[in-house]
Structure formats: structure tokens, C-alpha cells
Amino acid sequence: MTDTNVLSPWIRRFLIEHLVVERNLAHNTQKSYRDTLRLLLPVIARRARRRIDLLRVEDLSADRIRTFLQDLEETGGCAVATRNQRLSAIHSLARFISIHSPEHLQWSGEIHNIMSKKAARPLVTYLEKDEMDALLASPDCSTSQGRRDHAVLLFLYNTGARADEAAHVQITDLDVGMTPDRDPSSVLIRGKGNKQRRCPLWKRTVAEIRHLMADRDLSEHLFLNRRGQPLTRYGIHSLVERHAARVAKNLPSIAKKRVSPHTIRHTTATHLLRAGVDINTIRAWLGHVCLSTTNIYAEVDLEMKAKALANCKINDEKPQKHWRDDKGLMAFLKTL
């Protein structure tokens, strides 16, 4: 690199060398960082009055980044969490440049002085057992598409997998026992950051996915759309929302909730917790890195809170008599 002040080569190295080779980030994370720069660079170019490929590192000033983030919220309608996610990508770029170019340390420090906003944590939405059962019963299993939909919903509930994780499951990732009653079955799930985990499968789940696996190559994706192409995470989102809307017509409680694949993931965790599964096992089941992430389910379950409250209930105390009404005391006083 001949001129370390030109921004374009740094961005290319950041996206290709740093994110892919050095950090080996998940593909979705790479796309998120890329999308941040696609939004940011045209804004900086307009304010700096330069072509994007001629932008210099100093053009990416802290003030311009703050304006960009403010516009994301006010004009773009982005939530605080999205704003913070975009800022995290910019921080990562600034850190990468400063590591390889010490003369930009002061500039990087100014960028890192832009703080993340504190965002209110939304309440976790999950389905009660009758609501989940109704969702599983929604697909028409007499049709091939309905049976596929039922298998997807059951797989999500069984594993607590994210939509993207379920979309990328291949037949070779399945370890299906020959005798379901004796041989345990499991699936290998690739989560965020390419972390892998094994999740046990119910006999009911195995029975449904056996139908999907029949006479197919091991390298193929498990869940396919009507054209025989791998089902995408957007397809899984659409599938869940479609059946939730159908169930909501007869079950008003679901109509009040926004049901998505992540709602089913929350449901899995909450139901496991109610069944007495310890929180650390649930953490491994869902693929959380930190136990603190899993602890939110211990906070949201109203049924468990109500049971805890009942166990701590204080018996009603007998009302104490006023000293004037205590005849024994009054008689004692008269004898003195």
C-alpha cells in the first residue's frame, strides 16, 4: 500500500483479509459489516465532496459518523440495537486500520470515543404449551408441503435452532439411530461464529425427518422448497409466520404475539426450564456462549415466578388485640 491515507485499500483488506482470513467470522456477520459500509460510504462521500474510491481515512471523521448514526435512527427508522450494530462494525474497521497503521491511532481513538447507546431490553416472547401444540398441528400433513412444514416446525421446537441454522442443516449432519427406542439420534448444528453443537432429537422428530431424507444424497440440505432448492432462513421465517397467522384465527392469544423462528427458540428454552432442565444444559442446547444470555429465560417465565411466589407465601398473621381488650392483662393490673 503506497498511500496509507487512502481509505479504499483499507476497506478491501478489512473485508477480505481481516474478517474472513484472520477472524473467520460467520458469513452473516461478514455481510452485516459489508452492509454497514455500503450505507456509510455514500454518506461520507457526499459530505466530503469526494468520489468514494478517493475517500481518505480522515474523511471518516467522528462527527460525520455521529451524523450518520443519528440519521439511521431518525430518518432510516432503525432501532437503537441496529444503530449499535452499525457502530460496532465501524469500530472494528478503525481498530484494524490503527493496528496496521500507527499514524492513525489518534483518529482511531476519536472513532472509539463514539459510545453505544443504551437500549431497553425487549421482553422475550414465547408460546405456551397449548399455543405451540396448535402451531405444530397447523400444517396439513396429507400433502408433501404440509408434511415438510410440520417437520420444520417440529425441528425448530426440538432443537431451539435459529432459522439460519436450520436452513443450513445437511442430511450428513444427522445421526439417526437404527432403532429409535434404543439408539439416540442427534443433529450437528453450526451456530454463530461457526461454533458447532450436537442436539438430541425426539423420536417424533426423527420419524418426520426420515421421510425427508429418503433416497437423497448426504450432501443435500435437509429442508427444501417446492422447487427442490434449499430452504432459506427467509423461507423458514415466512413458513412460521404463515402458520402462526392461520392459528391466530382460532387462538386469540397467539394473535397478540409476534411469532417467528426465534419465538420458537425462546419457547424451547422456556419449556426446557419448566421441565427442570438446568440452565447450563439449556445454554449448551441453544449454543449460547455466555450463561448470562440464557439467564433471561429464568427471568421471563411467569409460571415459574408464580410457583416461587407461592412457596414464599407468608401465612396470615392473627390480628393482635389492643391492650385495652386484653381482659387478663386488665385483671392483673387491678391486683397490683
Give per-residue pLDDT as tens, 119-148: 777 778 899 999 999 999 999 999 999 999
| Residue from 18, 243, 283, 288 carrying the catalytic annotation | 288
CA 146 to each of CA 130, 152, 254, 261: distance values in angstroms, whole numbers, following the listed order: 20, 10, 20, 17
Q: Which residues of the chain have pLDDT under 50?
A: 1, 309
Residue 199: the pLDDT is 92
- pTM value surpassing 0.75: no
DSSP label at 34? Answer: H
Distance of CA 191 to the CA centre of its chain: 11
Residues 6+ apart with CB under 8 A from 266: 124, 125, 126, 297
Residue 307: the pLDDT is 57
Residue 26: the pLDDT is 79
Active site annotation includes 262: yes
Active site annotation includes 288: yes
Q: Where are the beta strands (DSSP E) in the chain?
A: 174-175, 185-190, 196-201
| Residue from 190, 262, 266, 283 carrying the catalytic annotation | 262
Residues 58-66: contacts with CB within 8 Å, 24+ apart? 58/5, 58/107, 59/7, 60/7, 60/90, 60/94, 60/111, 61/110, 62/110, 62/111, 62/113, 62/114, 65/40, 65/90, 65/111, 65/114, 66/114
- Reported as a single tens digit per residue, the pLDDT across 42-101 is 999 999 999 999 999 999 999 999 999 999 999 888 899 899 999 999 999 999 999 999
Active site annotation includes 33: no
| Residue from 18, 83, 162, 221 carrying the catalytic annotation | 162
Q: Where do we find the cell 472494528?
A: 92
Active site annotation includes 297: yes
Active site annotation includes 226: no
| Residue from 243, 265, 266, 283 carrying the catalytic annotation | 265
In order of their start, the domains of the chain are 7-112 (1.10.150), 129-309 (1.10.443.10)
